[in-house]
Amino acid sequence: MQKPIGNILSVEGPQSDPVEWWYWNGHLKDGESREFAYMLALFKAGVFGLVDVYFTHWIVSDLEQKTSRVFKKTFWGGLDKGSFKHGRLAAKAGETLSIKKDGDAIRLTTREFDLNMRSTKLPLMAYGTGLVDLKSSTTVSYSLTRLETRGTMMIDGASRDVSGLSWMDHQWSPMTLNREHVWTWFCLQLEDGTDVMCFRHGRRWLKHLAVVSSPDGSLGTYENLSLEPGGESWTSPKTGRRYVTEWSIKIPDAKINAICRAPIQSQEIKHAWFRYWEGPITVKAEVKDRKTEGRGFLEMNGMPPADHFRNRK
């Protein structure tokens, strides 16, 4: 049985579960206020309890030009020697990827960006423990929702100085692929200081969950919420899958209503047998009857039709 999170520092490195990932995303601007977004995920997949295979992918999106580039790599022989030594968040794979945490500072490096970030809020954990029952499985995770970020990003063949906010997740689970392994997931960073993680998981065994970090860092976990598709969608010309790219989020007990839209429609990612959509979103929201705006990320895997979501909680 999985255990709730105790000390965050003790779970930064790999856990014993066969499925695990470390994930970052962010919205950044250069000195000319040109907007960009990025995402990076490092996955671990345990194979028959004998070996851990790692693979990564990352995205660089230009919100002004409405373009997005996807990069990916599988490390069949594992990561470089010394990665995650003593359970620390420090991983390297040749010149492809470097992740390093020193104190409370994190540095992410790929050929496309070199970013330094520092958390300004306490970790976000569902129910205060990070342990979530998905009905078909369980999972444990924590999020660093507001990472002040500075660094460089390669755009049009040139390095640009950028700054903004990032988000980090670390999640692990014993779950294996099955029909219940589908989800629609959001993270929101609002200008009033509110941060939100919410999702819908499963087909038959549905799980809705939202965790809200208030501006002062206090947390609330809510199961009464709705994720409703809006009028915008995009159909992939490669796979024929239809992705809803406008969503309404309502969390009544937290007094949060939000409308999320994707500024770039074409954000489908294909990795092995996975086909999913991942990309930046803009947010217009009301929090306790006060209007605010923000940015975030949306991830959709499993692709049920839009009417599958309507009027379900």
The answer as to whether 5 is a domain residue is no
Structure tokens at 23: 């994930």
- Contacts for 146 with CB less than 8 Å, ≥ 6 apart: 119, 120, 121, 165, 167, 189, 193, 195, 213
CATH of the domain at 185: 2.40.370.10
Q: What is the pLDDT of residue 304?
A: 47
The answer as to whether 8 is a domain residue is no
Predicted confidence (pLDDT) at residue 159 exceeds the cutoff of 70:
yes
Q: What angle do CA 65, 259, 119 make, to 5 degrees?
A: 75
Q: Please tell me the distance from the alpha carbon of residue 117 to that of residue 146, in angstroms, as a whole number.
A: 9
Q: What is the pLDDT of residue 152?
A: 98
- The pLDDT confidence band at residue 313, using thresholds 50, 70 and 90, is very low
For the chain, the average pLDDT equals 92
**Which of the two residues, 6 and 168, has the higher pLDDT score?**
168
The answer as to whether 103 is a domain residue is yes
Q: Give Cα separations from 61 to 89, 201, 266 (angstroms).
A: 26, 26, 11
Query: Which whole number is the average pLDDT over 192-207?
Result: 95
Query: Which whole number is the average pLDDT over 139-159?
Result: 96
Q: What is the pLDDT of residue 238?
A: 87
The answer as to whether 48 is a domain residue is yes
How many C-beta atoms surround the C-beta of residue 188 within 10 A?
25
Predicted confidence (pLDDT) at residue 23 exceeds the cutoff of 70:
yes
Query: Which whole number is the average pLDDT over 6-22?
Result: 92
Residue-wise pLDDT tens digits, 200-226: 999 889 999 999 999 999 999 999 999
69-78 burial, b at 16+ Cβ within 10 Å, e below that, comes to: ebeeeebeee
- The pLDDT confidence band at residue 177, using thresholds 50, 70 and 90, is low
Question: Cβ(90)–Cβ(84) under 8 Å?
Answer: yes
Structural domain span for residue 220: 18-308
Q: Give Cα separations from 54 to 208, 220, 309 (angstroms).
A: 29, 33, 33
Residue-wise pLDDT tens digits, 33-75: 999 999 999 999 987 667 889 999 999 999 999 999 999 999 9
Q: Average the pLDDT over each of 1-5, 22-26, 94-98, 307-311 and give the range with the smallest value.
A: 307-311
Amino acid at 309: F
Q: What is the pLDDT of residue 307?
A: 41
Q: What is the pLDDT of residue 48?
A: 65
Predicted confidence (pLDDT) at residue 273 exceeds the cutoff of 90:
no
Total domains in the fold of the chain: 1
The answer as to whether 186 is a domain residue is yes
Predicted confidence (pLDDT) at residue 192 exceeds the cutoff of 80:
yes
Q: Is 295 helix (H, G, I), strand (E, B) or coil?
A: strand
Q: Please tell me the distance from the alpha carbon of residue 18 to that of residue 24, in angstroms, as a whole number.
A: 20
The answer as to whether 123 is a domain residue is yes
Residue that is written with structure tokens 């997740």 in the block:
169
- Contacts for 96 with CB less than 8 Å, ≥ 6 apart: 56, 73, 110, 111
- Left, alpha or beta for 127 (phi > 0: left; psi -120 to 50: alpha)? left
The answer as to whether 56 is a domain residue is yes
- The pLDDT confidence band at residue 312, using thresholds 50, 70 and 90, is very low
Q: What is the pLDDT of residue 1?
A: 64
- Contacts for 16 with CB less than 8 Å, ≥ 6 apart: none
Q: Please tell me the distance from the alpha carbon of residue 39 to that of residue 153, in angstroms, as a whole number.
A: 12
Question: Cβ(178)–Cβ(280) under 8 Å?
Answer: no
Query: Which whole number is the average pLDDT over 230-254?
Result: 94
The answer as to whether 69 is a domain residue is yes
- The pLDDT confidence band at residue 305, using thresholds 50, 70 and 90, is very low
Predicted confidence (pLDDT) at residue 171 exceeds the cutoff of 80:
yes
Residue 296 phi, psi (nearest 5): -175, -165
Predicted confidence (pLDDT) at residue 236 exceeds the cutoff of 60:
yes
Q: What is the pLDDT of residue 272?
A: 67
